Amino acid sequence: MAFEVYKPHLEKEATVAVSKNHLTLNKKLMGKLNTKYVELAYDPDTRNIRIKASNDENGLILNKNKIGAKGFFKHFNINQKGKYSAVYNDSEKSIFIQL
């Protein structure tokens, strides 16, 4: 009998999962944002979403690793779902997601 060794999959890439109501950040991205509130922005020409830390309570709540974004998706008519690569821009302290 031959045994095969299980090696757990480590997340090497920064990814964001987009669902019907939420944006879910992976652990790699959660280490970059050190905040309870975030600001979401959308560029319809490039189809990029920007997630940026917000200092005040006017931003959306970052609950563990999820951002409730139902209103954001509805406002910009975003219907895409799936897992997308993300890039953290250190100078802007923002996460960019290309849909």
pLDDT tens track for 8-42: 665 678 889 999 999 999 888 888 888 889 999 99
pTM of the model: 0.81
- Please state, in angstroms and rounded to a whole number, the distance separating the CA atoms of residues 31 and 81: 23
| Section 3-9 average pLDDT | 76
The pair of structure tokens assigned to 60 is 């959306």
Write down the pLDDT at residue 13.
80
Between the alpha carbon of residue 31 and those of residues 9, 43, 47, 88, 93, the distances in Å are: 19, 25, 25, 11, 12
Q: Where are the domains of the chain?
A: 15-98
Residue 2 has pLDDT above 70, yes or no: yes
